[in-house]
């Protein structure tokens, strides 16, 4: 999923596609990633099998945090491109 967002963003930066299309793809994939990683977080909590690394958090938690940060960034970019000043 990160690869899809990377390709969409690079293609918009290179001018190969519309910026609004890249924002839409990135937002959709980030939201999908939040659901995907959130599902595994809930499963780990319910089964009490949270395998943490050095910071005692599973990789699903880290993925959820990154997808959330990406979605927030995409929403800010979407607001910028939606405004008449942009």
User: What DSSP string runs through 40-63?
Assistant: HHHHHHHHT-----TTS--HHHHH
CA distances in angstroms from 6 to 11, 35, 51, 70, 84, listed in the order given? 8, 19, 28, 11, 27
In a domain, 67, yes or no: yes
In a domain, 63, yes or no: yes
Total domains present in the chain: 1
Q: Is the pLDDT of residue 21 over 60?
A: yes
Compare 33 and 42 and report the one with higher pLDDT. Answer: 33
In a domain, 73, yes or no: yes
In a domain, 42, yes or no: yes
CA distances in angstroms from 85 to 23, 30, 80, listed in the order given? 18, 26, 8
Is residue 30 a contact partner of residue 67, using CB atoms and an 8 Å limit? yes
Global pTM?
Answer: 0.79
Q: Is the pLDDT of residue 74 over 60?
A: yes
């Amino acid at each position: 999923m990160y690869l899809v967002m990377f390709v969409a963003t690079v293609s918009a930066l290179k001018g190969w596609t519309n910026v609004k299309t890249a924002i839409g793809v990135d937002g959709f994939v980030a939201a999908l990633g939040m659901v995907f990683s959130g599902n595994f977080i809930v499963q780990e909590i319910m089964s009490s099998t949270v395998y943490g690394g050095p910071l005692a958090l599973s990789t699903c938690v880290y993925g959820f945090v990154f997808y959330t940060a990406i979605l927030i960034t995409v929403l800010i970019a979407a607001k910028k491109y939606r405004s008449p000043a942009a």
